[in-house]
Chain A
Amino acid sequence: MSRWEVFKQDAAGKPHQAVGSVHAADPQHALVTAAHVFARRPAAHSLWVTRAAAIYSRTAEELAAESQAAGAPTEGQAPVSFEVFCKSTHRRSMTFVEHVATIEAATPAAALALAGAATSDDSRALAWWVVPTAAITASAPTDAASWFDPAKDKTYKQQALYGAAPSRAAKRGAG
């Protein structure tokens, strides 16, 4: 059993966001348990899973420290595709990083440099994850109807149905 990070896309056109992890034997097992654990409540459109060990992770502080040192040589390495994720706020409790770019590069560090360059005007970047595209397993679009759509009718799975946890809007109204 290894640990898999799970990325959930709430709707078409929205970015995949890291929502947590599952332990599973293989990618298909990880996808199915991820659907139970993270998509039994609305809403989901697609799931990605990747072995936690496949993630290249850097915080803004680590990147700043590393920029003092010379980058590893990448010449001679064929570029491959990487998915780049970024955490840009501390205000979200249910998600960590979200997908920001797909980048061709020789190494994860090179992909990050390219991604960082592309978004250098965004000083809010707190942490980055880089994952080889080939290391990601995605749910099939044809599965959405049986995996994700039924949850939309299941309001009894939402805390709001029970009145015990007022919604954010209600809290704001009361405050």
Chain B
Amino acid sequence: MTDQSTSAPQVGASRSGSPKELGTVEQAALIEQLTALADDELLLGHRNAEWTGHAPILEEDIALANLAQDEIGHAIAWYGLRSALDGSDPDRLVYFRDAPQFLNSWLAELPRGDWAFTMRRQCLFATYDAELLSRPALSSYLPLAHAAVKIGREELFHLRHSSMWLERLAHGTAESRRRLALALASAWPLLPQLLAPMPGTLDLHAAGIWPQPDELREAVVARARAALSQVGLGAGPLLPTAGLTSHRGTHPAHLDELLERLQSVARADPEATHW
């Protein structure tokens, strides 16, 4: 895939891997795209972590904490790739940006809800990640390729865990099925925003390092629909949600509340060097 056999590999200097190979437009677009990925993973991890001490059984409590750690680990990986491009400090990005500067999707920031919503949301994100990270385009830019392999394999386990729950909630009791239907009704309409291209996505696609956004969206939706029909559920057409633009950066009120908790300690002493 790469042509490095004749020279010693150097960080940031490989032919296909150097950030310097990207044009200014592509670099700016990639920074935005990575930030959106990272912000989604961070908030999803935070919401999952809110189950710690509250999950229905101890085993799932541990599992959710473990999932949360994985998602926050993925956020660190994506912020790290951004940092390699613009020198930004992931800790500053997480603890000192205000809500309007976050590029997460609405689906990621919604409150944790009940178990059905948590698993429904987890499954949609895992489906999205599994499709995105297995797209060949990502493997043509070395830093993305490494992250995609590492993160993609974990998302398959997350997908297994959350799909397993969809199946059991669907075949459980009238109450579990009712809750799953409600969860689907609140999560499904938010998919168009999660899957919408960002302003620079087509530039990245043209540069050959990002999948074609329409094709990716269709693949994610088809896989999510197939999983639903397997458990006897259907989802309506993807229609725009009132007040929800495809633009990331507008937030319902939930994010302020989340950030206040997430950032309070760091902001209590912004100059602190030791904790």
Contact = CB atoms under 8 A, between A and B. Distances in A.
Contacts of A82: none
Nearest to A35: B157
- Interface centre among A36, A143, A147, by most chain B C-beta atoms within 10 angstroms, is A36
- Interface centre among A1, A23, A33, A153, by most chain B C-beta atoms within 10 angstroms, is A33
A58 interface: no
Given A22-B59, A33-B60, A40-B66, A146 B164 contact: no
Given A28-B164, A29-B164, A146 B156 contact: yes
A80 to B, nearest CB: 29
B161 A153 contact: no
A121 B154 CA distance: 45
A69 interface: no
A146 B154 contact: yes
A36 B59 contact: yes
B56 to A, nearest CB: 10
A143 B57 CA distance: 24
Given A1-B57, A23-B57, A25-B168, A33 B150 contact: no
B161 A32 contact: yes
Q: Mostly helix, strand, loop or mixed at chain B's interface?
A: helix
B62 A150 contact: no
B126 to A, nearest CB: 11
A33 B154 contact: no
Contact of A33 (B63, B157, B168): B63
Contacts, number: 49
Interface string A139-161: 00001011101100110010000
Interface in B48-68: 57-60, 62-63, 66-67
B160 interface: yes
Interface in A152-175: 153-154, 157
B24 to A, nearest CB: 33
Given A23-B57, A154-B73, A32 B63 contact: yes
Nearest to B156: A146
Given A32-B160, A32-B164, A24 B154 contact: no
B153 A150 contact: yes
A62 B153 CA distance: 46
Contacts of B154: 146, 150
B157 A146 contact: yes
Interface residues of A, number: 23
Interface in A63-115: none
- Interface centre among B57, B59, B60, by most chain A C-beta atoms within 10 angstroms, is B59
A23 B60 CA distance: 10
B153 A29 contact: no
Contacts of A147: 157
A154 B73 CA distance: 9
Nearest to B157: A146
- Interface centre among A1, A26, A29, A154, by most chain B C-beta atoms within 10 angstroms, is A29
A153 B154 CA distance: 12
A1 B156 CA distance: 25
Nearest to A149: B153
A25 B155 CA distance: 23
Interface of A: 1, 22-26, 28-29, 32-33, 35-37, 40, 143, 145-147, 149-150, 153-154, 157
Interface of B: 57-60, 62-63, 66-67, 69-70, 73, 150, 153-157, 160-161, 164, 168
Closest 10 A/B residue pairs (Cβ)? A36-B63, A146-B156, A33-B59, A146-B157, A146-B153, A36-B66, A22-B59, A150-B154, A40-B66, A32-B161
24 contacts: A22-B59, A23-B57, A25-B168, A26-B168, A29-B164, A29-B168, A32-B63, A32-B161, A32-B164, A33-B60, A33-B63, A36-B67, A37-B59, A37-B62, A143-B157, A145-B153, A146-B155, A146-B160, A147-B157, A149-B153, A150-B70, A150-B153, A150-B154, A150-B157
Given A1-B57, A36-B59, A150-B70, 20 more contacts: A22-B59, A23-B58, A26-B168, A29-B164, A29-B168, A33-B59, A33-B60, A33-B62, A33-B63, A36-B62, A37-B62, A37-B63, A143-B157, A145-B153, A146-B154, A146-B156, A147-B157, A150-B153, A150-B157, A157-B69
